[in-house]
Amino acid sequence: MLSPEVRLEEQLVDVRSDQIAYKLTISNSDPNTLRLLTVQPRVPLGASLLEVTDSSLVQANAQKARLLEELNRLLRQYLWVTSTSFRQEWIDQQRGF
């Protein structure tokens, strides 16, 4: 059974400001995947919500995507040289477009 852990933490607050920051963390220790469809915060009238995402995660995901692209390119090159069936399937696939 999935048992996600949800934490809502108040961040450092500047008493001179009219802003409050909270950090929402959702973690899953279960080996099964957890699909989070949406988070809908309830904000009082007159307040506005500003969503801030962790830029380090964005950078890590971009680097991961570049690495996967490079690995796929290298794998295609290797299979092109070593596998005649791969070559033929690749050519047939390219002709289909």
CA angle (67, 71, 76) in 5-degree steps: 150
pLDDT per residue as tens digits for the range 44-56: 888 888 777 667 7
What confidence tier does 1 reach under pLDDT thresholds 50, 70, 90? low
The answer to pTM > 0.95 is no
Residue 67, pLDDT > 90, answer: yes
Q: Between 73 and 35, where is the model more confident?
A: 73
Which runs of consecutive H residues, i.e. helices, occur in the chain? Answer: 55-82, 84-96
In angstroms, the CA 40 to CA 85 distance is 50
Residue 63, pLDDT > 70, answer: yes
Residue 75, pLDDT > 90, answer: yes
Q: Domains of the chain: which residue ranges?
A: 5-31+55-96
Give the residues across from 27 on adjacent strands.
5
pLDDT per residue as tens digits for the range 18-27: 777 888 888 8
Residue 6, pLDDT > 70, answer: yes
